[in-house]
Structure 1
Amino acid sequence: MTEEKLHIDDHEEQIKDVVMLAARILLEAGAEGTRTEETMNYIASHYGFVKNNSFVTNTVINFILHDQSYPRIYRIKERNTNLIKISKVNTVSRKLVRDELTLDEAYKRLEEIYVKTKDHPLWFKTIAGALIGLSFLYLQDGMKIDILTVLFAGGIGILVTEMIKKRMRTQFIPEFFGGLSIALAVVAGHYFIPGGNLSVMLISSVMPIVPGVLITNAIQDLFGGHMMMFTTKSSEALVTSFAIGAGVSAVLIFA
């Protein structure tokens, strides 16, 4: 009887390990709370634990497999946007519930996703930021004379923001200096290449650092009834947006 109980406990711990690692990857990669909780419930229910309970915010994961088991809690300390990780975790969870993977295999794949699926390199983000700025310049019927300025400002803005984020795990400061550098680049570009539309250039150039995914996820959590995640993510998005506006305003006041 003791051996049987130990076997059951080991099996339950394996399920918890898989569930918690999947949730950790999803939240750190920027997934919404509704998706994370559904994935946790999806996996646990497949193994017969239909009364499992999970509660997540953008900083904490809480999970209990059943009423007689010990809860698991994990603190999320860093978050980024990585849709590749989210997609890969979704694939693993689907294969797991279709019995195409064992718990051990699923856990190993999740570990590989966590360790080996790296964030995009800084040079790639810089180029992407420049192209995003250019895209919004086109959408706003911007002038051709502003293309070079927006390309440079969009790229330098995300470069500065990401460099500071790697050195400081804080809110506000990276986005503030990102907005500041964008405004400096746009004002300088407008001075040396006059004739363009300053407002359109500024709006287009800040778009790469605007928290679009955060705002979208907050709205999805609102529709999913996850009010805590909606509140925290909305607050984070507001702080980030305020930081960008403060950085831009600081330059425009003295320009």
Structure 2
Amino acid sequence: MKIAQKNKILETCLTAGRIMIESGSEMYRVEDTMNRIAYNAGIQKSVVFTTPTGLFIGIENQPYVQLGPVSVRTINLEKVENVNTASRLFATKEITLDQLSIRLKKIDQHTPYFPIWMQILAAAAVSAFLMIVFSGEYDWLDFIPAAIVGAIGYAVFSEVNRLTSIRFIGEFLGSFSIGITAYLLTKYHLGVDLDNIIIGAVMPLVPGVAITNSIRDMLAGHLLSGMVRGMEALLSAFAIGTGIALIFRFVI
């Protein structure tokens, strides 16, 4: 196998792994996908090392190694599924390595997101229904207020994340807006139970997938990535809690 071909294989594996890490995939799934792509491309034994901020791949007993940074980390399971699908098509010889590389670049750059209005509408629905679930009572009087507060909080969270790259500030300002909006609704008798409204409204901001992936990584033996992701989820939860706590401390 020529050097250029080996480098092409490693580059394709890196692209696939980077997309999956940036999209919130578990580390063992990332490593498995990269190893399978390398094996199906003709590399019998590849060496992969992944972290939340960078990944490495090489060929065992050969001086071929490539590394790539991971600059952003978010949750986009559609990208993870698309990469897995492309990897399976390559494994069954339905597409070539060049076609796989082109498809991965398209997945990375052109995977569509749901429009922001739909995300806000979904956040409103999640907030309202989970308020009923977590409140432990059928508090239908706060169903609409919880939906409104949850939509406002998620809208602030999304807009702040769009405007700045500072981590956790979006969660903080989103939860702060949830607290102040819920307080105003109950103050002017448009809502009944402040606690129930806040409980439901913060649910779209809670890093549930990050917590789950952190635990799964640690159970799979990826202690470094598991602890890093767990710390990120903990800081997100701390930012959410701080935004709500400020309302209870200084406003209510």
Q: Give TM class, smaller chain.
A: over 0.9
Say whether residues 1:250 and 2:230 are aligned partners: no
Deviation string for 1:55-81 (max 9, x for gaps)? 112211111133313321111111221
Paired position in structure 2 for 1:187:
183
Which of these residues, 93, 98, 105, is aligned with residue 92 of structure 2? 98
Return the alpha-carbon distance in structure 1 between the equivalents of residues 110 and 24 of structure 2. 17
Shift of 1:194: 5.8
Paired position in structure 1 for 2:157:
161
Return the alpha-carbon distance in structure 1 between the equivalents of residues 245 and 105 of structure 2. 44
Where does 1:99-248 land on structure 2 (aligned, <5 Å)? 99-140=93-134, 141-193=137-189, 196-248=192-244
**Structure 2 segments unaligned to the other structure (5+ residues):** none
Return the alpha-carbon distance in structure 2 between the equivalents of residues 12 and 142 of structure 1. 61
Question: Contact (CA 8 Å) 2:153, 2:177: kept in 1 or not?
Answer: yes
Superposed structure 1 runs of 4+ greater than 4 Å apart: none
Shift of 1:159: 1.1
Quick one: which amino acid aligns to residue 26 of structure 1?
M
Quick one: which amino acid aligns to residue 72 of structure 2?
E
Shift of 1:250: 0.5
Question: Contact (CA 8 Å) 2:185, 2:191: kept in 1 or not?
Answer: no
Which of these residues, 50, 53, 78, is aligned with residue 59 of structure 1? 53
Quick one: which amino acid aligns to residue 148 of structure 1?
I
Higher mean C-alpha displacement, 217-226 vs 162-171: 162-171
Shift of 1:121: 2.4
TM-score by length of 1: 0.93
Question: Contact (CA 8 Å) 1:142, 1:201: kept in 2 or not?
Answer: no
Return the alpha-carbon distance in structure 2 between the equivalents of residues 229 and 36 of structure 1. 12
Paired position in structure 2 for 1:3:
none
Quick one: which amino acid aligns to residue 170 of structure 2?
P
Which of these residues, 47, 50, 68, is aligned with residue 62 of structure 2? 68
Paired position in structure 2 for 1:30:
24
The count of residues paired between Structure 1 and Structure 2 equals 249
Quick one: which amino acid aligns to residue 154 of structure 1?
G
TM-score by length of 2: 0.94
Question: Contact (CA 8 Å) 1:183, 1:251: kept in 2 or not?
Answer: yes
Quick one: which amino acid aligns to residue 30 of structure 1?
G
Paired position in structure 2 for 1:8:
2
Shift of 1:120: 2.5
Question: Contact (CA 8 Å) 1:60, 1:73: kept in 2 or not?
Answer: yes
* Same amino acid, percent of matched pairs: 32
Return the alpha-carbon distance in structure 1 between the equivalents of residues 192 and 199 of structure 2. 13
Question: Contact (CA 8 Å) 1:142, 1:200: kept in 2 or not?
Answer: no
Question: Contact (CA 8 Å) 1:64, 1:70: kept in 2 or not?
Answer: yes
Return the alpha-carbon distance in structure 2 between the equivalents of residues 12 and 203 of structure 1. 53
User: For the structure 1 residues 205 and 195, does the alpha-carbon distance in structure 2 shift closer, same or farther, using more than 3 Å as the test?
Assistant: closer
2:67 counterpart SS class: strand
